[in-house]
Amino acid sequence: MKLTLVATCLFGLERLLGEEIDALGYKRIHTIDGRVVFEGDETAVARCNLWLRTAEHVFVLVGRFSAVSFEDLFEGTKALPWQDFIPKDGEFPVKGHSIKSGLFSIPNCQKIIKKAVATKLSSVYKTDWLIENGAKHQIEFFILKDEVSLMIDTSGVPLHKRGYRPQNLAAPLRETLAAAMVKISRPREEVLLHDPFCGSGTIPIEAALLMTNTAPGSFRTFAAESFSWVPGSVWKQAREEAKNAVRTDCRFEAYASDINPEALEIAKACVKKAGMEKYVKVFLADALEITTGDRRGTVVCNPPYGERLGTIEEAEILYKKMGKHFSGLGSWQIYILTSHDSFERLYGRRADKVRKLYNGMLPCYYYQFFKKQKISYDHPDLDDFLN
């Protein structure tokens, strides 16, 4: 079955997500903020859910149309082939978003779409009552400038929930963003990757998954595994492909350190559940005391800020100390994610490159220091750097 698929992501990760879709062999159609549209089939549903490291959800696009009134929305929805995706007993809740459109009431849009889908399915299945006690087919609408896209979520639980972290863990960094941070840092097998503020170990784990070519969805299930139009054989084949693709000869090594013993216990459990104990070393250490050990290395981290370190003032003091200590790491490359927009001034050095990323809805900056630092007396932040 030829399908149009939509992969969503955190703002700022569209290019990385598009490259991942390309690598899987699927053709991109177009990209907008937070989503990439591409062509695929039932096999793509399984493979993309298993393999996309920076995607939040994979949807199948049922159809698109223009709507400036609720009548347009009802008729446009009813005209789509819902019976191709939702069986007679299928559950089909509705949710979504509307941006810069006349149909701005989300509850009203939900009701209209729900009624239209029910009307279409009742007509096709020759019944006056849809029991909806079967598999859940979450319908998601996205209305942008009066253009309606209606989709079915094939992922279920968001893809950033890999399955190796405890579900009740309030971690500050999504796995998908951690994977993006790692990719941008260009990890190499012969270069140590160190996160000295590791928390639950997400960044080193995502690095190890990437370097061993382990599919990030290997530890969980997906909504579409219960869909009748995606055969079980497709999922079996996709999981077998993922299993056979793992690199068992990888020599990559990552360090996950922190000063919080409780966090390290969680990190150890997460590393073990992800099956990455061979590649990720977890240990107690102060970030301001780490050394190169005469190795080539890269620091990739999301240091504490405000909510995670008591006060903003404490975080700013930490950033200044980081700048002084990390300057002594020689040729090591440094990659730091923070929401503090004055980080460079506090750190005492201008980044070689800065990318704006989002952790959920929180805007952050990814500061990249990959050129060897040269200190000169005309450095704009020299006083701050030395004090």
d(CA 347, CA 343): 6
DSSP string over 296-315: -EEEEE----GGGSS-HHHH
Structural domain includes residue 128: yes
Terminal CA-to-CA distance of the chain, rounded, Å? 64
What pLDDT score does 373 carry?
59
Do 69 and 15 fall into the same domain? Answer: yes
Do 180 and 149 fall into the same domain? Answer: no
Structural domain includes residue 164: no
What pLDDT score does 167 carry?
75
What pLDDT score does 171 carry?
66
Do 112 and 185 fall into the same domain? Answer: no
What pLDDT score does 307 carry?
57
What pLDDT score does 310 carry?
66
Structural domain includes residue 345: yes
Range of the domain at 46: 3-153
Provide the residue-wise pLDDT of the chain in tens; the chain has 387 residues: 999 999 999 999 999 999 999 999 999 999 999 999 999 999 999 999 999 999 999 999 999 999 999 999 999 999 999 999 999 999 999 999 999 999 999 999 999 999 999 999 999 999 999 999 999 999 999 999 999 999 999 999 999 999 999 877 766 799 999 999 999 999 999 999 999 999 999 999 999 999 999 999 999 999 999 999 999 999 999 999 999 999 999 999 999 999 999 999 999 999 999 999 999 999 999 999 999 999 999 999 999 876 555 688 999 999 999 999 999 999 999 999 999 989 999 999 999 999 999 998 899 999 999 976 554 333 444 344 333
CATH of the domain at 112: 3.30.2130.30
d(CA 386, CA 323): 9
Do 65 and 104 fall into the same domain? Answer: yes
What pLDDT score does 376 carry?
38
Structural domain includes residue 160: no
- Are 331 and 369 in contact by the 8 Å Cβ rule? The answer is no
Do 100 and 179 fall into the same domain? Answer: no
What pLDDT score does 168 carry?
73
Do 328 and 186 fall into the same domain? Answer: yes
Structural domain includes residue 21: yes
Structural domain includes residue 271: yes
CATH of the domain at 325: 3.40.50.150
Half-sphere CA count of 192, side-chain side, radius 13 A: 17
Do 193 and 73 fall into the same domain? Answer: no
Do 311 and 382 fall into the same domain? Answer: yes
Structural domain includes residue 41: yes
Do 148 and 8 fall into the same domain? Answer: yes
What pLDDT score does 382 carry?
37
Give Cβ neighbours of residue 70 (< 8 Å, ≥ 6 apart). Answer: 103, 108, 112
Which is nearest to 176 in space by CA: 345, 363, 387, 357?
357
d(CA 18, CA 25): 11
Do 120 and 202 fall into the same domain? Answer: no
Q: How far is CA 80 from the centre of its chain?
A: 30
| Tokens of residue 44, six digits | 């793509």
Structural domain includes residue 222: no
Do 106 and 206 fall into the same domain? Answer: no
Which is nearest to 216 in space by CA: 51, 17, 6?
51
Do 133 and 206 fall into the same domain? Answer: no
pTM of the model: 0.93
Domain count, the chain: 2
